């Protein structure tokens, strides 16, 4: 599902965010990416959807050499990925339904199929009865659930989440993690960067730890490993 070989990223100001990173992630895995602030986690995550280009190395996502894509092909790559951010990034002037449907309309699906798929994913995240609400009428946890529904409505090959529980309290974070677990149980690969020690320790998934731009630990059933 993901193959990174000898990937390095040096920003224009000279900061080395990643150095000689090799990672392979199989289809169906659930992987946490952990590490101190400034370790290179965001850089790693953003490379997966061509937000950032590495300075050297190669990156394959689902068999696609994503570094050789032309600018016009990048939106197609992103539509095949489900991307979730810490700050939800919903459209404030659209309802819950419209926020999710919007992700499908850009791929021009027929109306009835859109309706069925949107209501299915809203069911999965427990928000069917909030379809006509606007983002500002929802709690943070509910907004993140809308963002997850939007991320999975096109059946992505890979879900990428950057600190998805970073703004949420522990109970709400667990609700979000249950949804991620269900998505993973249905076969979708998940890569999630997080600082949430309790979640990583309890979920017993593969953990990749990055420090100073290098992978310092990669365990099949790992823990968070830091005291913060
Ligand atoms: P993390 O997500 O683990 O906090 P980042 O990937 O954001 O780490 O950052 C890794 C390193 O790269 C840090 O030293 C950071 O200061 C630097 N960095 C991140 N983004 C930029 C940028 N746009 N320009 C210059 N340096 C950057």
Rounded distance between C-alpha atoms, residue 165 and residue 34, angstroms: 13
Q: pLDDT, tens digit, for every residue of 202-217?
A: 999 999 999 999 999 9
Quote the CA–CA distance of 99 and 212 in Å, as a whole number.
37
pLDDT bin (cut points 50, 70, 90) of residue 104 is confident
Q: What is the pLDDT of residues 49-103, one digit of tens each?
A: 999 999 999 999 999 999 999 999 999 999 999 999 999 999 999 999 999 999 8
d(CA 210, CA 48): 16
Q: Are 101 and 118 in contact (CB under 8 A)?
A: yes
Distance from the CA of 20 to the center of ligand 1, in angstroms?
A: 16
User: Is ligand 1 within 6 A of the CB of residue 18?
Assistant: no
Do the Cβ atoms of 161 and 146 come closer than 8 Å?
no
Q: Residue 68: its pLDDT value, please?
A: 97
Is the CB of residue 40 below 6 angstroms from any atom belonging to ligand 1? yes
Query: At a CB cut-off of 8 Å and minimum separation 6, what does 186 contact?
Result: none
If one residue of 21, 34, 38 were mutated to test the ligand 1 pocket, choosing by the most ligand atoms within 8 A of its CB, it would be 38
């Amino acid at each position: 599902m993901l193959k990174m070989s000898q990937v390095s990223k040096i920003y224009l100001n000279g900061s080395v965010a990643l150095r000689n990173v090799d990672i392979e992630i199989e289809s169906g895995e659930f992987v946490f990416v952990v590490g101190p602030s400034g370790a290179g986690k965001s850089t790693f995550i953003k490379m997966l959807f061509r937000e950032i280009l590495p300075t050297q190395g190669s990156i394959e996502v689902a068999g696609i050499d994503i570094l050789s894509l032309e600018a016009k092909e990048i939106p197609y790559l992103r539509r095949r990925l489900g991307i979730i951010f810490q700050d939800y990034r919903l459209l404030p002037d659209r309802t819950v339904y419209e926020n999710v449907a919007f992700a499908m309309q850009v791929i021009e699906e027929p109306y009835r199929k859109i309706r069925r798929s949107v209501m299915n994913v809203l069911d999965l995240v427990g928000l069917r009865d909030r379809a006509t609400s606007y983002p500002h009428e929802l709690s943070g946890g509910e907004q993140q659930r809308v963002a997850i529904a939007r991320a999975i409505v096109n059946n992505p090959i890979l879900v990428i989440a950057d600190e998805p529980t970073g703004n949420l309290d522990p109970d709400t974070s667990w609700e979000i993690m249950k949804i991620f677990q269900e998505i993973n149980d249905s076969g979708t690969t998940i890569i999630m960067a997080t600082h949430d020690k309790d979640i990583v320790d309890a979920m017993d998934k593969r953990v990749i730890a990055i420090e100073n731009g290098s992978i310092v630990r990669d365990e099949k059933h790992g823990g968070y490993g830091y005291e913060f």
